[in-house]
């Protein structure tokens, strides 16, 4: 066949066409390579994974603070005893009303007055067996119900006084909302002339079915007038602390192994006005002497969970307190100027620090001892304000707090809420909510890779990837959080603390101030969100040494913004990694996030270390990006741990679509 023959030409054309087709095919993506260099190390901050908390979404009231009575001091509404209702049998007569003329003390300036004007006693009030019932009293609805559980002891207390007509006992009960079923009962006697505290124990039977369709009832046992103040009901608490915290929520927190607690806010520290800031002096001492205050999220706080309770919470979970103090900026627009006007607040901060750390020879240390905790608490970090801005003259306000605190407590590390010029803070608090979902969270994963190490260190005091499926994060959001966290972990020589926010959410309608929260609950049950399990995977697999980790041939994918976020569609990486080594245990934790919707083969290469052939893999994934955990399916998306084989100094592993993996490798 010569070069001019038709067959030759056809063959040539066919060859050229198929070559062109071959060229049009995208080259197969090169396998990504994760390189972990165990010879290039930096110390990893032991405090990297902590908690941030404030009164938001009914986090304490109706949440962590185990008190079951809502509006226990009748101050939620000045005109009406909200959440309290009259219980009255048809044959009984009487009424309830707020009463400001009778009150327990100046902190609690209003009482609930019960006028029992029944003409004849019923059988429960000493009348004849066949007499009609004349029950009269009040019921409290609880925070979306009172949780009734089997074989459970509840401690009730209340302050009361009565007029001379009243002779009966006060009967207490836990009962169904229609009053037909009584789950537990008790009674107190002797309520008379002066204000006094009364206590009783109510215990449910073993065969009671758990329910939150229940109420707490106090009945006055005879005609006459009774005034009530500070009515309280506690179920068992974590470590059996009086005035304590809800055990299931503490268990969820404890399982995260958090290293610090940033409190009491958030916006909650600032208040809407200087009067409604977190004023520690009003949150300590006997609970009936705490006035409570209006919070920043549209409901009152009893301050039953006050400064000492924050500190014992830290003690119980072995967390470092990161104490935020009010620094003059309020959410309502008032800013106290630096100078003499700010001085009382600077003094408050000094007093608060003394309350936390002072020995009993100091004024506020002695107060703490009187409140029940004679040993001082360890305190290293104090944050001056929350989310201040340059327009509010923060620089001068920070300087005033800085100088006063450092003069008295030079060892304290001070956190500024933004960069300041006049003083050098020890740390700066960064916050970022990734409102567009994974796009911005993934972009932020490299945020600190090239950060200047000479300046102040960073506490990342609030972050979350937020998405389209409130109230708690779905797998999509959790992948964004995990990608971002690999960046914090690679840089934890510089970013020494981090915390997701907000922590808690009561999932009942009307409780939420902020969609996308870490832990959800109602009166009876609780669950960790998908992001909670990312936190748990990272916090419980964290070594003391960062190993330099890089990715070559990083795959990318085009993402669009979730929940109408403002970010434009963008090509972003879909593979993320970080590695730390636990020197004492001789293990390396390699975290790999595959954000893509297809399984991702990855070549993993270690330098400077021998890796054993077997280890463990903990993997979080689910069928759909929108999968969430909930009260009904609390464990739908949770990590699974299995043996990992085929490990070596160099190996290939395929990571499932939409997954977070922690590989635990034995290494020497």
Which residues would be at the binding site for ligand AHR (CB under 6 A)? Answer: 54, 56, 265-267, 386-387, 462, 501-502, 514
Q: Whole-number minimum distance, CB 353 to ligand AHR, in Å?
A: 21
Q: Toward ligand AHR, which CB reaches closer, 503 or 534?
A: 503
Q: Toward ligand AHR, which CB reaches closer, 225 or 267?
A: 267
Q: Toward ligand AHR, which CB reaches closer, 148 or 495?
A: 495
How many C-beta atoms lie closer than 10 Å to residue 155's C-beta?
15
- Give the closest residue to 543 by CA, choosing from 614, 500, 490: 490
Q: Whole-number minimum distance, CB 297 to ligand AHR, in Å?
A: 8
Dihedral angle sign, alpha carbons of residues 41, 444, 662, 316: positive
Kindly report the backbone phi and psi dihedral angles of residue 220, in degrees, each rounded to the nearest multiple of 5, phi listed first: -90, 130
Give me the residues paired with residue 506 across strands.
Answer: 521
- Give the closest residue to 202 by CA, choosing from 236, 160, 247, 229: 236
Q: Toward ligand AHR, which CB reaches closer, 195 or 514?
A: 514
The three-class DSSP label of residue 348 is helix
Q: Toward ligand AHR, which CB reaches closer, 386 or 578?
A: 386
Contact 562, 184 (CB under 8 A): no
Q: Whole-number minimum distance, CB 467 to ligand AHR, in Å?
A: 16
Strands of the sheet containing 413-416, edge to edge, are 51-52, 260-263, 320-325, 381-384, 413-416, 427-434, 457-465, 495-500
Q: Whole-number minimum distance, CB 473 to ligand AHR, in Å?
A: 13
Contact 538, 447 (CB under 8 A): no
Q: Toward ligand AHR, which CB reaches closer, 516 or 629?
A: 516
Q: Whole-number minimum distance, CB 310 to ligand AHR, in Å?
A: 16
The three-class DSSP label of residue 333 is coil
How many C-beta atoms lie closer than 10 Å to residue 39's C-beta?
10
Q: Toward ligand AHR, which CB reaches closer, 386 or 465?
A: 386
Q: Whole-number minimum distance, CB 517 to ligand AHR, in Å?
A: 9
> Per the structure block, which two tokens stand in for 264?
């009491």
Q: Toward ligand AHR, which CB reaches closer, 266 or 456?
A: 266
How many C-beta atoms lie closer than 10 Å to residue 106's C-beta?
8
Q: Whole-number minimum distance, CB 325 to ligand AHR, in Å?
A: 14
Give me the residues paired with residue 558 across strands.
Answer: 571
Element containing residue 87 per DSSP (H, E): strand 84-88
Residue nearest to ligand AHR (CB): 266
Q: d(Cα 84, Cα 70) in Å, to the nearest integer?
A: 9
> Per the structure block, which two tokens stand in for 382?
């104090």
Q: Whole-number minimum distance, CB 143 to ligand AHR, in Å?
A: 20
Q: Whole-number minimum distance, CB 417 to ligand AHR, in Å?
A: 9
| Cis amide prior to 471 (ω within 30 degrees) | yes
Q: Whole-number minimum distance, CB 324 to ligand AHR, in Å?
A: 9
> Per the structure block, which two tokens stand in for 166?
């009243």
Q: d(Cα 437, Cα 560) in Å, to the nearest integer?
A: 9
Q: Whole-number minimum distance, CB 59 to ligand AHR, in Å?
A: 10
Q: d(Cα 88, Cα 240) in Å, to the nearest integer?
A: 35
Q: Toward ligand AHR, which CB reaches closer, 122 or 271?
A: 271
The three-class DSSP label of residue 177 is coil
Q: Toward ligand AHR, which CB reaches closer, 183 or 326?
A: 326
Q: Toward ligand AHR, which CB reaches closer, 265 or 639?
A: 265
Biggest CA–CA distance in the chain, Å, is 127
């Amino acid at each position: 066949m010569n070069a001019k023959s038709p067959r030759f030409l056809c063959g040539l054309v066919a060859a050229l066409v198929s070559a062109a087709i071959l060229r049009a095919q995208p080259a197969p993506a090169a396998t990504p390579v994760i390189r972990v260099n165990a010879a290039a190390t930096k110390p990893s901050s032991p405090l990297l994974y902590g908690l941030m908390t404030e009164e938001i979404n009914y986090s304490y009231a109706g949440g962590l603070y185990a008190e079951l009575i809502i509006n226990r001091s009748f101050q939620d509404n000045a005109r009406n005893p909200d959440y309290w209702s009259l219980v009255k049998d048809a044959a009984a007569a009487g009424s309830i009303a707020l009463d400001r003329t009778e009150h327990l003390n100046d902190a609690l300036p209003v009482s609930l007055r019960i006028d029992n004007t029944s003409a004849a006693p019923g059988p429960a009030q000493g009348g004849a067996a066949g007499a009609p019932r004349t029950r009269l009293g009040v019921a409290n609805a609880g925070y979306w119900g009172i949780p009734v559980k089997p074989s459970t002891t509840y401690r009730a207390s209340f302050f009361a006084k009565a007029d001379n007509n009243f002779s009966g006992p006060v009967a207490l009960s836990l009962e169904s909302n229609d009053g037909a079923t009584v789950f537990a009962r008790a009674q107190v006697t002797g309520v008379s002339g002066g204000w006094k505290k009364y206590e009783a124990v109510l215990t449910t039977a073993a065969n009671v079915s758990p329910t939150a369709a229940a109420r707490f009832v106090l009945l006055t046992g005879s005609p006459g007038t009774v005034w009530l103040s500070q009515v309280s009901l506690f179920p068992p608490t974590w470590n059996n602390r009086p005035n304590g915290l809800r055990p299931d929520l503490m268990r969820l927190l404890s399982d995260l192994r958090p290293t610090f607690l940033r409190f009491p806010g958030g916006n909650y520290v600032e208040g809407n006005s200087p009067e409604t800031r977190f004023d520690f002096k009003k949150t300590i001492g006997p609970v009936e002497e705490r006035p409570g205050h209006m919070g920043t999220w549209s409901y009152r706080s009893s301050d039953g969970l006050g400064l000492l309770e924050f500190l014992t919470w830290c003690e119980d979970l072995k967390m470092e307190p990161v104490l935020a103090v009010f620094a003059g900026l309020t959410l309502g627009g008032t800013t106290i100027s630096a100078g003499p006007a700010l001085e009382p607040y600077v003094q408050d901060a000094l007093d608060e620090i003394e309350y936390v750390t002072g020995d009993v020879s100091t004024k506020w240390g002695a107060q703490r001892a009187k409140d029940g905790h004679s040993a001082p608490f360890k305190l290293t970090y104090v944050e001056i304000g929350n989310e201040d801005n340059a327009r509010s003259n923060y620089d001068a306000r920070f300087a005033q707090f800085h100088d006063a605190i450092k003069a008295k407590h030079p060892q304290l590390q001070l956190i500024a809420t933004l960069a300041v010029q006049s003083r050098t803070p020890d740390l700066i608090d960064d916050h970022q909510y990734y409102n567009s979902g994974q796009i911005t969270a993934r972009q932020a994963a490299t945020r600190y890779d090239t950060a200047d190490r000479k300046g102040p260190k960073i506490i990342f005091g609030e972050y979350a990837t937020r998405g389209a499926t409130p109230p708690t994060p779905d797998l999509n959001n959790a992948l964004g959080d995990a990608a971002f966290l690999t960046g914090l972990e690679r840089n934890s020589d510089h970013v020494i603390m981090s915390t997701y926010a907000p922590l808690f959410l009561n999932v009942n309608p009307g409780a939420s101030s902020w969609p996308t929260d870490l832990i959800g609950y109602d009166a009876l049950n609780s669950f960790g969100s998908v992001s909670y399990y990312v936190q748990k995977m990272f916090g419980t697999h964290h070594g003391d040494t960062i190993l330099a980790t890089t990715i070559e041939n990083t795959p990318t994918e085009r993402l669009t913004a979730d929940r109408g976020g403002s970010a434009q569609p963008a090509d972003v990486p879909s593979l993320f990694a970080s590695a730390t080594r636990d020197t004492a245990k001789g293990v390396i934790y390699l975290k790999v996030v595959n954000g893509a919707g297809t399984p991702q083969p990855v070549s993993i290469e270690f330098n400077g270390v021998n890796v054993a052939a077997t280890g463990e893999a903990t993997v979080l994934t689910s069928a759909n990006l929108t999968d969430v955990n909930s009260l009904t399916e609390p464990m739908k998306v949770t990590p699974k741990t299995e043996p990992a084989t085929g490990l070596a100094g160099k190996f290939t592993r395929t990571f499932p679509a939409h997954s977070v993996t922690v590989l635990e490798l034995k290494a020497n």
